[in-house]
Structures are given as structure tokens and as C-alpha cells.
Amino acid sequence: MANTLTGLVPTLYEALDTVSRELIGFAAGATRDSGIERAAKGQTISSFLAPAVTASDITPGVTAPNDGDQVFSTISLSISKSRYVPIRWNGEEQRSLQTNTGAVGANRILRDQFAQAFRTLVNEVEVDMFTAAYKGASRAYGTAATTPFGTAGDLTDFAGIAQILDQNGAPMGDRHLVLSSAAMAKIRGIQSVLFKVNEAGTSELLRQGTVGMVEGFNLHYSAANTLVTKGTGSGYLVNNAGPYAVGTTAITVDTGTGTILAGDVITFAGDTNKYVVATALASNVVTIASPGLKATLADNVALTVGNSYTPSIAFQKSGFIVATRTPAVPVDQNGQAMDMADDRTIIADPYSGIAFEVSMYRQYRQLKYEVGLAWGVATPKSDFIATLLG
């Protein structure tokens, strides 16, 4: 057959173009390690993180300063998912479309099928990133079950979430805030003066979900931000012979009942900070995220599990990473793929940084296409992530 994926590339990019201009918040803002090299599900890979840099005074001299070297750190994360979406056509179906809708109609249907395939995988990545983010946040600001940005001209919610990142030492550049649907509605409505197109001078809302910048945050929106249901824990008291020091993350508790889950927001009597649980209560120990306690904690202080909430997530780019790869296939001694695919191509999305693999399999009187992606998510530095409650 003469039909190969080469001829479908314009259709694939048209489909991807449709999806990439929908709202993707986390993938657009996080550190991305994206490539076409193959990785297996469960495989651990390392991703490089660029270090913070400092400026130097300019001093004229005979030679240029002997500096500029940097030490890059790495983070290891696992490719936790390898997924695909299938699209299949047989000869009779193709003939029927050519008769009833013409060739242009058939191409449009195929384009829409690929668009749905790309959308499905992107949405799964977004959900995984959201889950990692709210469980990996350092602290929280705001009121659970109350949508932020509810007062016109009041930027307190921006200031509060920024203060957490400031106190945690997060760099000022490349900060992002991924809004929930309800928070986005408030921004568009009550706070819409911030994002009038003629004043903002940008149409990024229609492209990547980036709706502007406020107080150092690039604002995004993701449908993945959904309700986080709290644990059932109640009545717990701190159990410690001497006060826990500032910076402590593992807190022993007693007397209470019920669960305290990763992602729960907890408070201690006498401390106004709202801490995010990093590891669920087990063996009477609950672990909060780094940088830990902001105030000393004495014995028998009451612990309270906050209400269920719909979070918006603030983060500095280096605190959050997603790695994407093409799914693994068997290869021969020359590294050539040895499965049944007749053709393969890589379609890279310039907006999310995700590289998708599209494969074609010729079968008996039919063609099957697969859109595949493997990925993993990690939060290497909780200090650089904070939750805005809603």
C-alpha cells in the first residue's frame, strides 16, 4: 500500500494544533524533560535541573573573567505510565466515507480522531501532574470551600500564596499558578480588569491557557484541578516529650481516630500556618512536606484536619517536573524497532513540549493507528510548591 504516515503528517499536526491550543496548565508551566528516546514503564530516569545563578560586577581588564561554570543537579523519577489510544479503519468504512462525504470529509474525521487521541493523553498527564502537585505542596493559603479572588480589586490571594514561596526561598523567576475552574471564573469575572485583551496585549489564553502575569505568577488554567476529599481524622493530639523544633516534618500523634491522607491540609493549635501532608498517617506518625514546621510544637497540642478543598497550585518551575518519552518497543542488534508496525513518526507539540509517537499497523483489509506516550511526574522540591485553597 502506498499510504504511509508521511502523508498523514499535515493531518496529525492539524489535530495536534487543535489540542495544543486548549487549556493545559501544568504541562505548560512545569520543568519538562521530553524526548523521542524510548523508556520502559517502571524505568527510572534522571532529569537535569539548572541551578540558580548570581550576577557579578563588571570590571574592565585585559582578559575576560574565568567563570561561568555551573553544577547541574539531577532528579530521578520513574516512567509510571505507558499508554496509547487506538484508531482503526477498514476498507468498507473508508469507501463509505469517500462516497458520502468525499475525501475532504474523511480527512476531517481522521483529524478529529487524532485530536481526541492527543487530548486523551494530555488530559491524563495533566491529572497525574495535579495529583503530584497537591500532594507535594509545602503549605496552603486561603479558605477551603471558598473560591479565591472573590473580591474585585483585592489581590490578597496572590500575595498570600507568593509569601509562602518567598519564605521557602523559591526563586522569583518562572513562577506559575494553575487555577481551578471556579478560580478561573472569578478571574474572568470579578478580576477581569487584569486580563482585558487590549490592556494585556496577549492572546495566550486562547493558546496555552496562560492568561497573564500577576505579582510574578504566570497564570494558567487546568480542568484537572478538582475537589480533594479530606481524610476522616479527628481528635488527634501531638505526642512528644519535648517540643518539636522548627523544620521538623515527622509528627507523632495519639488519642485520635480516622485517616489523615496525603494532600490533607492540617493545622496545629496556636500556629496559623496551614501544612500539607506529604505522607499519610501510619503508625501514629504523620509527615508534612518540606520545609516542615514554621513554629515549635509542644506535646498535646491539638491537630485539626482541614475541610475538603479545590486547589489552585502555585509553583516555581524547578520544583515540579514531568518527563515524557515514546513507549518502548523490541529492537534488533542495530537498534531498529522489531514489532509489527509498518511506519512510525514523532509529533512534537511546541506548546506543551510533549512528543507523541504515532504508529501505523497494516492489518487484513484494515489499518490501525496508535498514538502513544510514556510519562512520569515528580515534585523534587516541595518548598517551591504551595496550594491556594478553594
What pLDDT shows up at residue 207? 52
User: From start to end of the chain, where are the E strands?
Assistant: 31-39, 44-49, 73-78, 81-90, 139-141, 175-179, 212-214, 217-221, 237-238, 250-254, 265-268, 271-282, 285-288, 303-305, 312-316, 321-327, 343-348, 355-363, 366-378, 385-388
Residue 310 has φ and ψ, to the nearest 5°, of -110, 110
pLDDT digits (tens, 9 = 90+) for 52-94: 677 888 889 888 888 888 877 666 678 889 999 999 988 777 7
- 96 and 212 belong to one structural domain: yes
What pLDDT shows up at residue 194? 65
What pLDDT shows up at residue 2? 41
Of the chain, the percentage scoring pLDDT greater than 70 comes to 84
What pLDDT shows up at residue 157? 96
- 97 and 196 belong to one structural domain: yes
pLDDT digits (tens, 9 = 90+) for 26-41: 877 887 776 656 666 7
Of 268, 289, 305, which marks where a domain is finished? 305
Residue 100 pLDDT > 90 = no
- Inter-residue contact 357 to 327 (CB < 8 Å): yes
Of 305, 325, 358, which marks where a domain is finished? 305
- 39 and 180 belong to one structural domain: yes
Residue located via cell numbers 524497532: 337
- 277 and 130 belong to one structural domain: no
Q: Over the chain, what is the mean pLDDT? A: 85
Of 305, 320, 349, which marks where a domain is finished? 305
Residue 22 pLDDT > 70 = no
Between residues 256 and 223, which one has the greater pLDDT?
Answer: 256
Structural domain containing residue 157 = 1-46+82-227+309-390
Q: Torsion angle, CA of 236/237/239/241, rounded to 10 degrees?
A: 180
- 300 and 315 belong to one structural domain: no
What average pLDDT score do residues 141-165 get? 94
Q: For residue 231, what pLDDT band results from cuts at 50, 70 and 90?
A: very high
- Classify residue 73: in a domain, yes or no: no
- 318 and 298 belong to one structural domain: no
- 314 and 301 belong to one structural domain: no
Sorted by sequence, the CB contacts under 8 Å of residue 156 that are 6+ apart come out as: none
- Classify residue 360: in a domain, yes or no: yes
- Classify residue 65: in a domain, yes or no: no
- 187 and 115 belong to one structural domain: yes
pLDDT digits (tens, 9 = 90+) for 243-284: 999 999 999 999 999 999 999 999 999 999 999 999 999 999
What pLDDT shows up at residue 19? 72
Q: How far apart are CA 137 and CA 247, in angstroms?
A: 15
| 113 closest CA partner among 389, 367, 375, 390 | 367
Question: How many domains, in total, are found in the chain?
Answer: 2
- 365 and 287 belong to one structural domain: no
Question: Which stretch of 100-104, 161-165, 258-262, 377-381 has the lowest confidence by average pLDDT?
Answer: 100-104
- 127 and 7 belong to one structural domain: yes
What pLDDT shows up at residue 21? 59
CATH (domain of 40): 3.90.1690
In DSSP terms, 139 is beta-bridged to 275, 386
What pLDDT shows up at residue 98? 66
Q: For residue 331, what pLDDT band results from cuts at 50, 70 and 90?
A: confident
Residue 154 pLDDT > 80 = yes
Q: How far apart are CA 179 and CA 313, in angstroms?
A: 7
